A and B are shown apart, each in its own frame.
Chain A
Amino acid sequence: MPGADRFDAASRVGEGGAGTGQPTQAHGFPSPAQDYFHGGLDLNRLLVRDRTSTFLMRVEGQGMAADGMMDGDEVIVDRSLHPRDRSVVVAVLDGELTLRRWHERPEGIILATDDGAQVTRVGADTELVLWGVVTRSLHHV
């Protein structure tokens, strides 16, 4: 059947090819490295602790630039984590998703940008809606 070869070749591309780094042609001897190759470095394994609770966001503004989260960078946010003192968090303030440092002070929680331009005392005037905890910044260099 004339078309069959084409289908076979194509399905090999689908299975191997760019994703695995395996040669797509099945001619000749197999590479001696083949038995040792179990897939390349997977950034998801490094960066995503739990895919159900992990979200990506894009930073707008320079308030957290001192810690490498600059305007236009992406941050990785895990909703399932509890913040500790000095965690970077995403919090809802005035209906907006904001990037803030979480300070645990004797008088209560303070959310602030590192440049000191934004400081919010949680409690009396503001209801805290914590969205998630930032685990990584993907800084563009």
Chain B
Amino acid sequence: MRERIALVDVNNFYVSCERVFDPTLRGRPVVVLSNNDGCVVARSQESKDLGVKTGMPWFKLQDQARRWGLVAKSSNYELYGDMSARVMEVLGRHGLWQEVYSIDESFVGLAGTAADLLALATRIKEDVVRYVGVPVCVGVAPTKTQAKLANHIAKHTPTLGSVCSLDSLADQDVWALQQRLPVTGLWGVGARSGERLRAEGIDTIADLRRADPSKIRKKHSVVLERTVRELNGVNCLPPTAERADRAQVMYSRSFSTPVSSWEELDQVMNLYTQRATARLAAQGLRARVLTVSAGTSRFSGEASFPSRSVALPSPTADPLLLTRYAVSALRSVTNPGTQYVRAGVMLSGLDRDTEHGGQEQLDLFGSPGEGEQGSLFDDAGPGTAAPSGAAGGDGGSSDPGRSSGAGDGQQLNALLAAVKGKFGEAAIGLGRGGFSEEPEWSMKREFRSNRYTTEWDELPTVRA
């Protein structure tokens, strides 16, 4: 009996969701575009084979697309979110425990003999495609880092049939694989760490596995030390929900038309902060730090990504307070007349609001995009990295630091959630966030397929 960790992820998740309801997309090159149909965030295998890269602007691809028969789809958040919830529920039924890592990835705890583990992993793969209709890869191993590696092997070794359990591979085969794969193939080892390791003669995963963890810690980081230990079968990654790097709530979007006045930016910040706060409150969390950011276009000369972090006087989920801080913080780093194409709000330094009995909840959207596609919400854009010196600022020129009264806004959040639940998302909002007409800068989704699973008038049709 061995306890193991499976990492399950959906292959080309967004494209796979589209294909469930539109069989004509099967076998064809398909891409899914970011907000406002700007650039490629997800690709089918056929698109990858054609050399289409993530991040390519759609307008540069359009001509070839016609020649290739490549189909572009706008991001269909409603569909992907619903399909993700289904996948995660199916996965959860198979595990001793489950830890949702991103919209299309989850860790699942398994136990059994080597043969059991392989059978369980195969069953998981078959069930997800049978119940939800999307294909997955499953990697099973003693630690998360190894599970991620096993998943990678499953994905790139056609004979394994999308399932790889390290216990079912011969030790020498695992070593041979690790000798071939570069360290940058590992979870959390980026190009920069890869370069530094290479300078020390550590090229492959096998090299890193043999390295002395305490030396790695001194020369590099605790994170990399953990990677070494995990490669040697020692579990040292805590559950995702408890990890510091996950502790943020983000709301970031591109606009369909540039915004250049403070009035419009205020409106944007108002709405985005309320959305972020609603997510925060739904998870029973409070924030200590608020970071706002904006960005100008990459295609019009020198792009700039102003941002500012504000330390909040006390942990809070108060939408009024946070909105005031966000509006004035963004004003302090932007200039009227400049054309901004995106903006975002990040809430970090989170803690659990135990007073109000905050409930643990699966967070499908809050995690940094680690999968193959760009993050669903364009998170982690270049504008979000605030200069560290900015943290602990005073919250901008005016003093917005007056709370909305009792507690830290939980009552207000509950009220807003109740009204929205009853009368719809646009029914109520604070200040400039409370408008019922689609503002001009809201998103463009020209090639969006139907919201097949969430809207009565957009159901798939079946011909009789």
Chain A interface residues toward B at CB < 8 A: 1, 3-4, 7, 10-11, 13-14, 17-18, 50-53, 55-65, 69, 71, 74-75, 77, 79-80, 90, 92, 95-100, 113, 129, 131
Taking CB atoms, residues of chain B closer than 8 Å to A80 are: 130-131
**Taking the nearest CB of chain B, how far is it from the CB of A29, in angstroms?**
26
Which listed residue, A74, A77, A97, touches B463 by the CB 8 Å rule? A97
A58 touches B460 (CB 8 A): yes
Q: Are B412 and A99 in contact (CB under 8 A)?
A: no
Are B23 and A113 within 8 A (Cβ)? no
In the complex where A11-B418, A92-B23 touch, is A97 in contact with B132 (Cβ < 8 A)?
Answer: no
Contacts A11-B415, A79-B133; A52 near B460 (Cβ below 8 A): no
Residues of B within 8 A of A7 (CB): 411-412, 414-415
A62 touches B459 (CB 8 A): no
Q: How many A-B residue pairs have CB under 8 A?
A: 102
CA distance A13 to B417 in the complex (A): 11
| B131 touching A11, Cβ below 8 Å | no
B406 contacts partner chain A, Cβ-Cβ < 8 Å: yes
User: Which residue in chain B gives the minimum CB-CB distance to A7?
Assistant: B411
**Docked pose: A103 CA to B460 CA in angstroms:** 24
- B313 to chain A minimum Cβ distance, whole angstroms, is 20
Query: Which chain A residue shows the least CB distance to B417?
Result: A14
Bound together, the chains give a CA A99 to CA B419 distance in angstroms of 40
* Chain A CB within 8 A of B339 CB: no
Q: A10-B419, A52-B90 are in contact. Are A61 and B464 (CB under 8 A)?
A: yes
How far apart sit A77 and B461, CA to CA, in the bound complex (Å)? 12
Closest CB in chain A relative to B451 CB, distance in Å? 12
Asked if residues B462 and A99 are in contact (CB atoms below 8 Å), the reply is yes
Contact B462 A75 (CB under 8 A): yes
The 7 closest A-B pairs by CB, nearest first: A14-B418, A63-B464, A53-B131, A99-B464, A95-B24, A64-B464, A61-B464
Contact (Cβ within 8 A) A98 B131: no
Besides A58-B459, A60-B464, A97-B21, 8 more A-B contacts (Cβ < 8 Å) are A1-B406, A3-B405, A10-B415, A53-B132, A75-B462, A95-B26, A97-B23, A98-B462
Q: Which residues of A contact B417 (CB under 8 A)?
A: 14
A-B contact pairs, 19 of them (CB 8 A): A1-B406, A3-B405, A7-B412, A10-B418, A18-B422, A51-B89, A52-B86, A53-B86, A53-B130, A53-B132, A58-B462, A60-B462, A61-B463, A63-B464, A74-B459, A80-B131, A90-B462, A96-B23, A113-B464
